Chain A
């Protein structure tokens, strides 16, 4: 049986199994070597607990990563995996996805890997809509190289390489992905197992590129980067979790909401606005998704989580295969005929 029978577009063509799987089945025999307390552990555990629910054959799952602490991820998964080179995982995974429709291909990357050295591959992969699930571990720092600022570090960041403060303006990865017209973009916190699992599931089920930004704590070089989102009280005020089709309210009692303002969106107190003015999330609306992404600020005074965008458009790999299939159906693969071409002459001995 393949997942086509399950009617899940993102898993169509991938063989499934009836065998019961557990998180244990997804743990490899390699010792995990991240620093104690690293957010990467929680993401790994969440992933290992989540994958069994897809019911896929383990041998048909592949993790491809770049370079960075987070990119060690594939070694710890008992699936196929390639730990490649810095920034290039989306390109390598594209080659794999194009040639193998029967695989569930995941990319694991960091904020430096995906947005500095690999920025070009990331945006092009998203615009092509290759059927890949890209997990961007954003710790707002270069972990593996011991603590330089990254393209998501807040302006003025003091690090080893920027003792007087970093000068560059950071990327908002969700805005960037939406700018490339990614067909699926989500965000979750490493510590929020339920939220992360929900976004991962929707990403897996989506056919096309799915970018999932995961806020991940690096206790060694950027500890507490997301603490304001983890403190129960602060989180109520700051985290705006969006669900497709539902009005966007947040806070303990839903006392805050999102309304339209000018060409964008703004946060308001629910009590101050008419209920009909509260924006209803529509993940198929690119402009709305983009406006939502703009609510997230460098200082995390607001952070949107959940699935920003989920839209259907043809995937590059399906289309490439369709072209090959159409060519095969239209024309026999006759090598001798090809080599002869149109203009030959014969010399008799």
Chain B
């Protein structure tokens, strides 16, 4: 029987299994194959909070979703078209997301009575009718893998572990993916254990051959390469892009970077990445807690380095007092918050954008801080560079609000030409004749950056209120009022680019405003409703403090403004307060990114309501 080949414009695949099944690696490899093939893509891993949850249980399920297409896509996809379930737990946790008619590939070997009861299946779903709505492919992946590796002399246990590569091989065949990259990758990864490397390659080929030779699969699929802008691409996660942006900031400012930080999910990878790049004059200090982390960063900034600290929401809570000190001492400081579900320890491995008001107001006194938020994994690079620009030029702490979805998600990135990156060089104060610790640049209102070791500029700074210009301690009421307003004016006056409105028809009456990682789902939803003939405008904010200068005008142009957020309406609150617009809030806090599908319905309803 010959297989039929169907052409698709996009596909979403989800690999799901036990934490020990290597699903992240499998997903990563498929992503690399898709990238090498020239598809546009976006990915989203989803892993348990527990490091080693008991095998075969629901809390132990780990998954990796990948969306690839022949056009530019914005999200990792709402729902999988294909679900690969390596055990009953993975099936149970993920099958709810599979739409009717979806392809379900199941590793039957794990569907033992014991494993089924462990997750609460009374009967075997592979044998009853519960999966009838799907195109189910039952494959004994473990058995087939062990069989394929029989000759290698590898023990059964070791052989069975390669079953994820069997799954990858099968999927690679189904989607006509190139295979050389994966084989090369496996040989490199297991270079020190050649027998394991060969076993994985064999399992991978066995999966491929299984598709090719058995008659179980009648259809294969092709997704053509996407027409992306010309240039050199790589795949990148948000945390890596953030780390690279910091390296670039060091290079473009010609300053050393000192990262003071304390490990926390989902921000730790920024520390891990930066600690590999000391050759760029980057020092990483794993401190005793978040307070020390930011203290170290601020001390380094005081000494003339770019101080950086990275954390997640609970860490920001601990850093608040030091952020206030940085506001008062007016020193550059980059504070990275990779947001996760809260409050308290909350949902450590899940995403949320509920730290906006904490970033905006979470300090004592009038303590304004600029806020920058990246809209996608690769955007972290440019966004963090811009945050560094603001910190250095305006001598202020800057909050960078990434989140779990952006941090761990990945997408292709058009690698920028290094020479085209902004020049971030700043000048230190050197002239004792004119030096005043709290004099200000007339344009930026920044005070001089006078680093210890500069002759004749000895001065004292600190957290007590400063006298304007001299920086001496002052308790004078008028002076305090003036300084509070000056600090605010400095932040309000930060130059940020105008917000760009995406409204292809120019006829939209409804504006959807988002910020941060909801860019993908909002953008995708906007495209969908436009296809339905409903015009909608989309504005996405990278700068949340100060807001772009044209934002008020933009908001007032539309009959209705809707603001979807993964919180209870924090941006909406700010927009309503500042611009007196009747912004409608749409919120969801499930620890998961929005789905384009649900936002499509929300937008369509609002648009219809306006035109009615």
Contacts and interface: CB of A to CB of B under 8 A. Distances in A.
28 contacts: A15-B453, A30-B460, A30-B473, A62-B452, A74-B462, A83-B460, A83-B462, A84-B463, A85-B321, A85-B463, A88-B321, A91-B292, A92-B296, A92-B299, A95-B299, A96-B300, A99-B283, A99-B303, A328-B281, A333-B281, A336-B418, A339-B415, A341-B234, A344-B415, A346-B233, A347-B38, A347-B231, A348-B230
Contacts of B304: 99-100
A95 B287 CA distance: 10
A284 to B, nearest CB: 27
B251 A333 contact: yes
A98 B415 CA distance: 32
A25 to B, nearest CB: 10
B230 A339 contact: no
A345 to B, nearest CB: 5
B38 A345 contact: yes
Given A102-B453, A121-B292, A339-B418, 13 more contacts: A82-B302, A83-B460, A84-B463, A91-B296, A94-B295, A124-B287, A324-B281, A333-B279, A336-B417, A339-B234, A339-B244, A343-B36, A346-B232
B282 interface: yes
A95 B260 contact: yes
B459 interface: yes
Contacts of A338: 244, 247, 277, 280
Interface stretch (A53-61, A205-213, A245-253, A268-276): A53-61
Contacts of B258: 95, 98-99
Given A324-B282, A332-B279, A345-B232, A60 B453 contact: yes
A111 B452 CA distance: 27
A59 B460 contact: no
B80 interface: no
Contacts of B473: 30, 75
Contacts of B305: 99
Contacts of A80: 452-453, 458-460
Contact of B464 (A83, A328, A333, A349): A83
Contact of B462 (A59, A84, A330): A84
B452 A103 contact: yes
Interface in A52-87: 57-60, 62, 64, 67, 74-75, 77-85
A331 interface: yes
Contact of A98 (B235, B291, B296, B321): B296
Interface string B101-139: 000000000000000000000000000000000000000
A333 B280 contact: yes
A78 B460 CA distance: 8
A81 B455 CA distance: 14
A335 B453 contact: no
Interface string B297-331: 11111111101000000000000011011000100
Interface string A221-246: 00000000000000000000000000
Contact of B279 (A88, A330, A339, A348): A330
B164 interface: no
Contacts of A28: 460
B307 A95 contact: yes
Nearest to B284: A320
Select the residue from B35, B251, B277, B458 with max chain A CB neighbours within 10 A.
Answer: B458
Nearest to B473: A75
A93 interface: yes
B557 interface: no
Nearest to A63: B460
A74 B473 CA distance: 12
Contacts of A121: 288, 291-292, 295
B453 A59 contact: yes
Contacts of B285: 94-95, 98, 320
B360 interface: no
B228 interface: yes
A94 B277 CA distance: 21
B229 interface: yes
A80 B471 CA distance: 13
A328 B279 contact: yes
A312 interface: no
B576 interface: no
B493 interface: no
A102 B32 CA distance: 47
Nearest to A71: B462
A243 B287 CA distance: 35
Interface in B436-479: 452-464, 472-473
B452 A94 contact: no
A346 B228 CA distance: 10
A59 B457 contact: yes
B459 A98 contact: no
A95 B295 contact: yes
Contact of B299 (A78, A96, A340, A349): A96
A349 B235 contact: no
B455 A343 contact: no
A172 B281 CA distance: 40
Contacts of A30: 460, 472-473
Select the residue from A64, A78, A96, A330 with max chain B CB neighbours within 10 A.
Answer: A96
A162 interface: no
A2 B279 CA distance: 26
Contacts of A59: 452-458
B309 to A, nearest CB: 10
Contacts of A320: 283, 285
Interface string A101-127: 011000000000000000011001000
Interface in B331-364: none
B289 interface: yes
Contacts of B307: 95
Given A99-B304, A324-B281, A328-B281, A91 B295 contact: yes
A328 B280 CA distance: 7
A25 B279 CA distance: 40
A174 to B, nearest CB: 21
**Interchain residue pairs A-B with the least CB separation, the first 5:** A95-B299, A83-B462, A349-B230, A91-B295, A327-B278
A94 B285 CA distance: 10
Contacts of A58: 458
Select the residue from A331, A336, A339, A349 with max chain B CB neighbours within 10 A.
Answer: A339
A180 B341 CA distance: 36
Contacts of A324: 278-279, 281-283
Contacts of A161: none
A45 interface: no
Given A88-B291, A88-B292, A91-B299, A98 B283 contact: yes
A345 B454 CA distance: 48
A105 to B, nearest CB: 9
A84 B32 CA distance: 49
Nearest to B464: A83
B243 to A, nearest CB: 10
A297 interface: no
Contact of A343 (B32, B289, B452): B32
B256 interface: yes
A120 B288 contact: yes
A301 interface: no
Contact of B230 (A15, A124, A340, A347): A347
Contacts of B461: 81-83
B199 interface: no
B279 A78 contact: no
A22 interface: no
B122 to A, nearest CB: 46
Contacts of A331: 279
Contact of A327 (B279, B287, B302): B279
B460 A343 contact: no
B54 interface: no
A144 to B, nearest CB: 12
Contact of B248 (A81, A92, A335, A341): A335
Nearest to B256: A99
B416 interface: yes
B234 A343 contact: yes
